Chains A and B, each alone.
Chain A
Amino acid sequence: MLQETAFTKMKAENEPISGAELMLEALKKEQVEVIFGYPGGAVLPIYDKLYDSKILHILPRHEQGGIHAAEGYSRVTGKPGVVIATSGPGATNIITGLADAMMDSLPLIVFTGQVATGVIGTDAFQEADILGITTPITKYNYQVRSIEDIPRIVKEAFYVATSGRPGPVLIDIPKDIAAGTAKVPEEQEIVLPGYQPTVQPNYLQIRKLTEAVSRAKKPVILAGAGILFAEAYEELKQYAEQQNLPVVHTLLGLGGFPAEHPLFVGLAGMHGCYTANMALYEADLLINIGARFDDRLTGNLQHFAPNATVAHIDIDPAEIGKNVQTHIPVVADAKEALKQLIAQEGKPPVHQEWMDTLNAWKAEYPFFYKEDGRLKPQKVMEMLYEKTKGEAVVVTDVGQHQMWAAQYYKFSKANRWVTSGGLGTMGFGLPASIGAQLASPDSIVLSISGDGGFQMCTQELAVIREQNLPIKIIILNNSSLGMVRQWQEIFYESRFSHSKFSSQPDFVKLADAYGIKGYVIEDEAQAESIFNEVLTNNEPVLLDIRIDPDENVYPMIAPGKGHHEMVGVKP
């Protein structure tokens, strides 16, 4: 309580207080539990004050690791992840994470140091125009121009990052502003006349949608991550059950609707299941709730839901009509819209034939793989699902393993699936799992990567050891950049240009160097016994799983093709 007392005292006596203290005080007010930060010249005044602070500070070994960890934390808690990076290279190292968070609508509060106000614009040491650089990849950004503004800006930043469609907000603090002192300013209200997200749906559109549902013969709900941000999982379930509507998920939406529910159709998109994609293709009413019709979901837009009346519920009006022509637009928070839809108690559609068709497809076209004695990644995923009873937090990197995880790990609850969707950032997985484990200390966290992506942020193993995080690091090792290799095989006549590693590190020794136990797994029997041994204990572990290097992800919608043109749907 030392710092708080000092602050209260200073406030009472109206003593000047430093910009750095004002910033930390503002973070405390927002109930920030953890900061992912990396010190450096321009943020030294902030770090000096952090020395006495009670907020947990995680020191990644690279700023990119820090911001991905913050993303993982945010994805699991729903709260904004807080990041600090220094000016210049520190700030430019977080760019990938900002772009990733912007694409996947993750709330982040990112502080960057900046050179002192007097030398901004002179190409000073470690200066970068971070406002200019990050304007297109942040929801909003600020440069603090006066110390007194800090509390207001931080408050505003949290509001902007978490309200409406969430996103990253960056606050650039020049060194002299952090070091300088000012009297504690009076608390100010947030005034943002140009930012008023529409939360409540338009009643007429809700009526229109209710009527469309009751008339539909082939309705389907497409549920995206908007369900998770709005915490609308209960409402979604209730509405789907009330109206007897089948539910399809986007990659990022997984967990919003229980995978074992009879109304759940499956994952849609490029590597989604046949039934989900055909449900979208054949539908006469498509109800999109909180998804943005990404191209990896829709395939060729000309063939997307050709016969459907499209309803789109989204808190961001700019998403409606952006990619797909929408007939029933509903600008609203998913939870509020669903509540109103439930309250309508509309007549459920008469669509037994449709439900029978979907169920027949489900039975006929499940995900499949061939067993030929080699260790199959899909089998590994099935085993992980069984061993963790479907209750793990699954964090992935980007590529084949990500698709296999999405296909075979069935999520019964929300906020257990952490993946980089929109930007497709390799290197995301390992650091994001750090944030996920901090956010959910009692959960088993599976950090699933390929051998390529794992090597993009390997240095964060140090943090896992340092913080004693019992993360289960699973490398699906095929000695190649699997998804690139797959595309080269299919679309480039097997000309494997720079997608196969001719030399790989010994991952077990690497883990050992960081004080983490590692195992090589080469067959099912080994997997069985090692999974039993390590998945539930309280220690981090690295599993180098040597999978069949020729395995491809199927089914697949090739680029430029429609949902009805999926390949690899049957053995």
Chain B
Amino acid sequence: MKRIITLTVMNRPGVLNRITNLFSKRNYNIESISVGYSEQEGMSRITCVVHVENIGVLEQITKQLNKQIDVIKVMDITEQSIVARELALIKVVSNSSTRNEIYSLIQPFRASVIDVSKDSLVIQLTGESDKIEAFIELIKPYGIKELARTGTTAFLRGTQKPSQAIKPYSIV
């Protein structure tokens, strides 16, 4: 199953290496990881999307992450009310005969064209991973020349259902 884990970490040298190292050391599967500064100075936020076989593995991942000295907080937010977004840039083969057709596909996905050349278009798309995947499937037949995705970044919505009040991970 797919889970979204967010980490608040001290912005120290090597911290990203520690996290990715942990995933490979413990043989965990990671689908995407995105990192950037957070609202607090000296802290970064990391969003990981992981695939786990069962809840036991997930528990181990969160505990092992929590054990890292640079990690302040670990949350599995998959079952919370969240906003999750990913950005994709897609360079598609296009000429005068297909251009209009591609434009018509872009519209419903609220994607935008940010560069045009004689034989290609660059499309920018944001949204949840499913939406991006759906769009990629749709555009594939035209010929994708290049594709870059940022990986999911996510956090909790301002309003949570009361029963879902989230706690940082703890065994006791």
Residues of A at the B interface (CB closer than 8 Å) are: 131-132, 135-136, 139-141, 143, 145, 160, 192-195, 198, 202, 205, 316-318, 320-322, 329-331
Give A318's nearest chain B residue, CB to CB. B63
9 closest cross-chain pairs (CB), A and B: A318-B63, A202-B172, A195-B69, A194-B72, A317-B171, A136-B25, A140-B69, A318-B67, A194-B71
Q: How far is the CA of A195 from the CA of B60 in the complex (A)?
A: 18
B14 contacts across to A, CB distance below 8 A? 131-132, 135, 141, 143
Interface contact B171-A132, CB-CB below 8 Å: no
B13 contacts across to A, CB distance below 8 A? 131, 143, 145
A329 contacts across to B, CB distance below 8 A? 171-172
User: Could you tell me the distance in whole angstroms from the C-beta of B40 to the nearest C-beta in chain A?
Assistant: 11
Give B64's nearest chain A residue, CB to CB. A318
Q: Does B141 contact A (CB under 8 A)?
A: no
Q: When A135-B18, A331-B172 are in contact, do A321 and B56 touch as well, CB less than 8 Å?
A: yes
Q: Does B66 contact A (CB under 8 A)?
A: yes
User: Could you tell me the distance in whole angstroms from the C-beta of A521 to the nearest C-beta in chain B?
Assistant: 45
Give A326's nearest chain B residue, CB to CB. B171
Q: How far is the CA of A168 from the CA of B37 in the complex (A)?
A: 30
Q: How far is the CA of A113 from the CA of B14 in the complex (A)?
A: 18
Residues of B at the A interface (CB closer than 8 Å) are: 9-10, 13-14, 17-18, 21-22, 25, 56, 59-60, 63-64, 66-72, 170-172
Give A132's nearest chain B residue, CB to CB. B17
A160 contacts across to B, CB distance below 8 A? 69
Q: How far is the CA of A193 from the CA of B10 in the complex (A)?
A: 9
A141 contacts across to B, CB distance below 8 A? 14
B59 contacts across to A, CB distance below 8 A? 321
Q: How far is the CA of A20 from the CA of B9 in the complex (A)?
A: 31
Q: When A131-B14, A320-B171 are in contact, do A194 and B63 touch as well, CB less than 8 Å?
A: no
B70 contacts across to A, CB distance below 8 A? 194
B18 contacts across to A, CB distance below 8 A? 135
- 21 A-B Cβ contacts within 8 A? A131-B13, A131-B14, A132-B14, A132-B17, A135-B17, A136-B21, A141-B14, A143-B14, A145-B13, A193-B10, A193-B72, A194-B68, A194-B71, A198-B172, A316-B67, A317-B63, A317-B67, A317-B170, A318-B66, A320-B171, A331-B171
A316 contacts across to B, CB distance below 8 A? 67
Q: How far is the CA of A318 from the CA of B28 in the complex (A)?
A: 15
B22 contacts across to A, CB distance below 8 A? 136
Most chain B CB within 10 A, of A145, A198, A317, A329, is at: A317
Give B63's nearest chain A residue, CB to CB. A318
B170 contacts across to A, CB distance below 8 A? 317
Q: How far is the CA of A316 from the CA of B64 in the complex (A)?
A: 10
Q: How far is the CA of A331 from the CA of B17 in the complex (A)?
A: 28
User: Could you tell me the distance in whole angstroms from the C-beta of A69 to the nearest C-beta in chain B?
Assistant: 27
User: Could you tell me the distance in whole angstroms from the C-beta of A341 to the nearest C-beta in chain B?
Assistant: 16
Q: How far is the CA of A140 from the CA of B21 in the complex (A)?
A: 13
User: Could you tell me the distance in whole angstroms from the C-beta of A143 to the nearest C-beta in chain B?
Assistant: 7
Q: How far is the CA of A94 from the CA of B53 in the complex (A)?
A: 36
Q: How far is the CA of A252 from the CA of B43 in the complex (A)?
A: 39
Most chain B CB within 10 A, of A145, A205, A321, is at: A321
Give B71's nearest chain A residue, CB to CB. A194
A136 contacts across to B, CB distance below 8 A? 21-22, 25
User: Could you tell me the distance in whole angstroms from the C-beta of B71 to the nearest C-beta in chain A?
Assistant: 5
Interface contact A317-B69, CB-CB below 8 Å: no
A331 contacts across to B, CB distance below 8 A? 171-172
B69: which of A132, A192, A202 is its contact (CB, 8 Å)?
A192
Q: How far is the CA of A364 from the CA of B108 in the complex (A)?
A: 79
Most chain A CB within 10 A, of B14, B56, B66, B172, is at: B172
Interface contact A194-B10, CB-CB below 8 Å: yes
Q: When A135-B17, A193-B10, A194-B10 are in contact, do A317 and B72 touch as well, CB less than 8 Å?
A: no
Q: How far is the CA of A145 from the CA of B13 in the complex (A)?
A: 10
B68 contacts across to A, CB distance below 8 A? 194
Q: How far is the CA of A37 from the CA of B115 in the complex (A)?
A: 60
Q: How far is the CA of A202 from the CA of B21 in the complex (A)?
A: 32
Interface contact B72-A318, CB-CB below 8 Å: no
Q: How far is the CA of A329 from the CA of B169 in the complex (A)?
A: 14
Q: How far is the CA of A135 from the CA of B59 in the complex (A)?
A: 22
Most chain A CB within 10 A, of B14, B56, B66, is at: B14
Interface contact B21-A135, CB-CB below 8 Å: yes
B69 contacts across to A, CB distance below 8 A? 139-140, 160, 192, 194-195
Give B10's nearest chain A residue, CB to CB. A194
B67 contacts across to A, CB distance below 8 A? 316-318
Q: How far is the CA of A139 from the CA of B69 in the complex (A)?
A: 8
Give A197's nearest chain B residue, CB to CB. B67
B72 contacts across to A, CB distance below 8 A? 193-194
Q: How far is the CA of A291 from the CA of B63 in the complex (A)?
A: 17
Q: When A131-B14, A143-B13, A318-B63 are in contact, do A205 and B71 touch as well, CB less than 8 Å?
A: no
Q: How far is the CA of A511 from the CA of B18 in the complex (A)?
A: 45
Given contacts A135-B14, A195-B69, 8 further A-B contacts (CB under 8 A): A131-B13, A132-B14, A132-B17, A140-B69, A145-B13, A202-B172, A205-B172, A318-B66
